[in-house]
Chains A and B, each alone.
Chain A
Amino acid sequence: MKREAVIVGVGDVPLKDGRVVGGGSVLQVQARAAKAALDDARIPMRDVDGLLVAGLWGVPGPGQLASVTLGEYLGIFPRFADTTNIGGSAFEAHVAHAAMAIEAGYCDVALIVYGSMQKSERSRTLGGRPPVLTMQFENVWGIPQPVGGYALAAQRHMHEFGTRQEQLAEIAVATRKWAALNPAATMRDPLTIDDVMASTPISDPLKLLDCCLVTDGAGAVVMTTADNARAHGSRMIHVRGYGEAHTHWSIGAMPDLARLTAAEMSGRRAFEMAGIDHSAIDVVECYDSFTITVLMTLEALGFCKPGEGGAFVSGQRTAPGGPFPLNTNGGGLSYCHPGMYGIFLLVEAVRQLRGDAGDRQVAGARTALVHGTGGTLSSGGTVILANH
Chain B
Amino acid sequence: MIRCESVTYVYQRGTPVETTALADVSLEIRSGEIVGIIGATGSGKSTLVQHFNGLLRPTRGRVYLDDVDIHAREVDRRRLRQQIGLLFQYPEHQLFEETVSADVAFGPRNLGVAGQELDRRVRGALERVGLDPDRFGPRSPFALSNGEMRRVAIAGILAMEPRMLILDEPTAGLDPLSRQEILDHIRRLHDERGLTIVLVSHSMDAVARLCRRLIVMDRGRVVADGAARSVFADPARLAALGLGLPQVTLCAQRLRERGLPVRPDVLTVEEGRAAILEAVAVRARGAS
Task: Tell me if chain B binds chain A.
Answer: no
Residues of B within 8 A of A (CB): none
Residues of A within 8 A of B (CB): none
